[in-house]
A and B are shown apart, each in its own frame.
Chain A
Amino acid sequence: MENILEVNDLHVSFKTHRGEVKAVRGVNLTLKKGEALAIVGESGSGKSVTTKAIMGLLPKPAGRVKSGEVLFNERDLTKLSDKQMQKLRGSEISMIFQDPMTSLNPTMTIGKQIMEGIRRHQNLSKADAKKRAIELLELVGIPNPEERVKQYPHQFSGGMRQRVVIAIALACNPKVLIADEPTTALDVTIQAQILDLMKDLQKKTNTSIVLITHDLGVVANMAQRVAVMYGGKVIETGTVDEIFYEPKHPYTWGLLSSMPRVDSKNSELLAIPGTPPDLSNPPKGCPFAARCPHAMKVCTEFMPDYSDVSDTHKTACWLQDERSPKVEPPETIQVGGDR
C-alpha cells in the first residue's frame, strides 16, 4: 500500500520569552491509504504540534517548521504558500478538534459553518451546498437535520457538537482526517458513540486517519498502527498488536502499565515517576533517560538510532543494542500477554 502522508525528520520550534522551545525534534511518520494511525504520548510530547504542522496551523509567528518535510501525495506541504495550503485544508486534509464546546463559532448557524468549507472548495450553489450540509448532518447521525442546520452551536449538546465538527471535517471528502483527541472532552458513553461513528465513516469513505490520543483504549478500538511520542520524538512505532503485546521501549512499558485494568490484582494506579523534559533545553541523549528505570550511561549522552524489531516495528532505545543487558518488560503489562 502506498503512503498518502509521510512526515520526514520534522523539526518544529516555538519562540517564547524564555527562548526557543523545540517542541518537535525529528519526527518520522507514515500514513497508508485507508489506515488509521494513532499517535500516543503524554501532554507536551509534541503530538498536537506535529499535526498542527502538517495542517499548516501552527500559531504564527511564534511557531514554525525549522526543517524536515511533510509529503502529501508527493507534495511537500511545508513548502506551500498560505494560499496553496488553504486550498488543501478542509478539502484534502481536514481536522477534528478536542473540545466541541469551543471549536464551533457561537455566532454562526451550524449550516453556515458546514457550508463555508463546501462553498470554498467545491463549485456548488448555495442551495446545493445546503443540501450537502443536510446530508452530512444525516451522515453523522444528527436527527432532524433540515431543522438543525438553521440552529446555533449553543442549541446542541457536546456529543452532537462533536458530530457537527466531524461533519465539517468530512464535508469535502478529505483523503486524510486528523483527529486531535476527538473524545477527550466528552462523556464516556458519548465517547463510544463518536468512536463508532468515526470507524463507521472511515469504512464508508475510506479516509486515512491520524488519531491523537492518550487513551490507549481508543487506540485499540480504532487504529491499526501506533506511534508513541515522547519529548518531541517518536520513540516507538508498530502495529497495534506489536505495541500492546511486544512493546520494546521502557516508556511504552510505563504508558501501558499506567493504564488502569479491571482484572488487575494490583489495585494501585501506576504512574511513571518524574516529569517530561523541558524542551526549551532538550536533553542531549534519550529524552526519557531521566525517568527510565533502565537508563544507562550512554542513554544520557547519545540519542539511540531506530532499530527494527520487525518490518513494521521500530524503536529508539539503547536496550535494543546487543551490548546492552537483557531487560524484561515489567509484569504489570505482561498480564495482557494473550492476544
Chain B
Amino acid sequence: MARYIAKRIVYMIITFLVVITFTFLTMKLMPGTPFKNQNRISPEQLAQLKHYYGLDQPVPIQYLHYIGNALHGDLGGSFQFGMRPVTTILAEKAPVSFDLGFEAVIIGAIFGILLGVIAGLRRGTILDYGTMFISVLGISIPSFVLAVFMQYFFGVKWQLLPLAYWKGPEYHIMPVIALAVGVVANVARFMRTEMVEVVNQDYITTARAKGISSFNVIFKHSVRNALIPVITILGPLTAAIVTGSLVIENIFAIPGIGSQFVDSIVTNDYPMIMGTTELYSALLIIMIFIVDILYGVIDPRIRLAGGE
C-alpha cells in the first residue's frame, strides 16, 4: 500500500508539472498584453513596462524563472492588483469558494445517495419514478436558473433568506442548494442504477438468509457495494463544483475565486491565471487520488491488486 501511494504521489507531481507547463505556454499564446490603453503609450514606455514585469525575456526563460520562484512558494504578483502577491489573494478568496463547493458536494452526495437508495429499493414504484423525475429536472435545469428563481421567491418575494453576500450561515443556504441540486441529481441516478443491480446479487440473498435485519442488509451489504462506482463520479464532480461555482458566485455576489479567475483571463493577468489554474488542478489531482484510495478502502479486491 505504501509503495502504491508513493508511486501515485510521483505521478501526481508529474501531472501537475505538465498542467503548469501547458497552461504557461497556452497563456503566452493568447493575444494581447496585460497593459490597457496600449495604443496610448509610447513604444519606449511599453518596453519599460515589459521589462519591469519581466515580459521582455524569451518565453522559456520566463517559464524557468516562474518555476524557480514557484518552488520557493512565490507565484508572483497580480498585475490587476498592483503586484499584490497571488498567494495572498488566493489564500483570501479560495476558502470562500471551497466552503461553498464542499458544502454543496457533501449535502448533494448525502441526499443523492439517500434518494438513489430509496429509488433503487422501491424500483418501479411511484417513489422511484418521482425520484428519477426530480433527478432529471436537477440535471437539466442550470444552476443559475434555479439560483435566480430562489432569489426571487425566498429573497425578494417572501424575504426569508438574504439575497446575496457571504456573511453567515443563512447566506449559505441558497447558493449551496443551487449548486447541490446538480450533485443530488447525478449521484441519485448513479446510485439508483447500482442499487437495482446490487439488490439482485446472490450475496444479498445470502445476507437475508442469515436472518439479519433489513436495515443491515441494505446498509452493510447493498449500499457499500453500490457505492463503489458512485465514488468514481464523486471525485471529478467535487472538483467541478468547487471550481465551477463561478456563475453562482457572481449571482450571489460571493467573494470567491471564480470571478477572480475570469477577470484575470480577460486582463491577461498572467500570474493570477497561473496561480488559479495551479490551485484548481492541484485540487482535481488530489480529489482523484483520494477517490482511488477510497476505492481501496471500500473494495478489498482493488486494495490488494494495487498493493502488489
Contact = CB atoms under 8 A, between A and B. Distances in A.
Contact of A87 (B211, B299, B300): B211
Contacts of B203: 102-106
Contacts of A88: 211
Interface in B279-302: 298-301
Q: How large is the interface on B (under 10, 10 to 19, 20 to 34, 35 or more residues)?
A: 20 to 34
A221 interface: no
Interface stretch (A28-36, A92-100, A240-248): A92-100
A147 interface: no
A218 B210 CA distance: 25
Contact of A107 (B205, B211, B225): B225
B211 A86 contact: yes
A272 interface: no
B210 A106 contact: no
Q: Is the interface of A mostly helix, strand, loop or mixed?
A: mixed
Contacts of B210: 89-90, 94, 116-117, 120, 168, 171
Interface in A69-99: 82, 85-91, 94-95, 97-99
Contacts of B224: 107-108
A5 interface: no
Nearest to B212: A120
Nearest to A152: B300
Given A89-B211, A107-B225, A116-B210, A57 B301 contact: no
B209 interface: yes
Contacts of A154: 300-301, 304
Contacts, number: 85
B93 interface: no
A106 B300 contact: yes
Nearest to A102: B202
A89 B209 contact: yes
B206 A120 contact: no
Given A106-B225, A106-B299, A107-B298, A97 B211 contact: no
Given A97-B202, A99-B202, A102-B201, A107 B208 contact: no
Nearest to A151: B300
Contacts of A132: none
Interface of B: 201-203, 205-214, 216, 220-221, 224-225, 228, 298-301, 304
Given A86-B211, A86-B213, A98-B202, 4 more contacts: A55-B209, A94-B209, A102-B201, A106-B299
28 contacts: A55-B209, A57-B205, A57-B208, A82-B214, A85-B211, A88-B211, A89-B210, A89-B211, A90-B211, A91-B211, A94-B209, A97-B206, A97-B209, A99-B202, A106-B299, A106-B300, A106-B301, A107-B299, A107-B300, A108-B224, A113-B206, A116-B207, A116-B220, A120-B212, A121-B211, A154-B301, A154-B304, A168-B206
